[in-house]
Structure 1
Amino acid sequence: MTQLEFELDRDHVELNQLLKLCGVCDSGGAGKALVASGMVSVDGMIELRKTCKIHAGSTVTFEDVEIRVRSAAG
């Protein structure tokens, strides 16, 4: 499994944008399609809300990619 860390420099990031920013997909629209397909999970639960707010401390998983979101402040 590929593990990535995403440093969050604000309160939250939308799930579809996180997938784009981490290079999992090419655009926010493609990120929305991935989420809608039911293949993305947040903290172990399948997430179908494309613009779900992801906060520091969350873990997002898609296929063999795990994205750990952490605060830029530490």
Structure 2
Amino acid sequence: MEIFKLKKDEDYIELNNLLKTLNWVASGGEAKALIQEGNVMVNNEIETRVRKKMRVGDTVKLYEYEAQVKAPN
């Protein structure tokens, strides 16, 4: 499982931006399509909201990829 740390001034990151930041997708359009098609799971539930706010402790899964959002140090 990968770890994504929020920046000190961030409370959340939007799901589509998280997928791009993790390099799981090549573009925002690809992220949007995968999310809307029901291929992304957040906290073990299918998530179709493109701009879902991902907060500390949330997990995301896309196929064999998995990551958790952590607080900054």
Structure 1 length-normalised TM? 0.91
| Residue-pair matches, total | 71
Cα distance in 2 for partners of 1:13, 1:19 equals: 10
**Structure 1 stretches of at least 4 aligned residues deviating more than 4 Å after TM superposition:** none
Q: Which runs of 5+ in 2 are unaligned?
A: none
Taking the TM superposition and a 5 Å limit, the aligned residue runs for 1:1-74 are 3-9=1-7, 10-73=10-73
Q: Alignment RMSD, CA only?
A: 0.8
Q: Which runs of 5+ in 1 are unaligned?
A: none
Instruction: Name the % identity.
Output: 38
Cα distance in 1 for partners of 2:71, 2:27 equals: 23
Q: Structure 1 or 2: larger strand share?
A: 1
Deviations 1:21-73 (A, max 9, x none): 00100122211111011010000000000000000100000100001110113
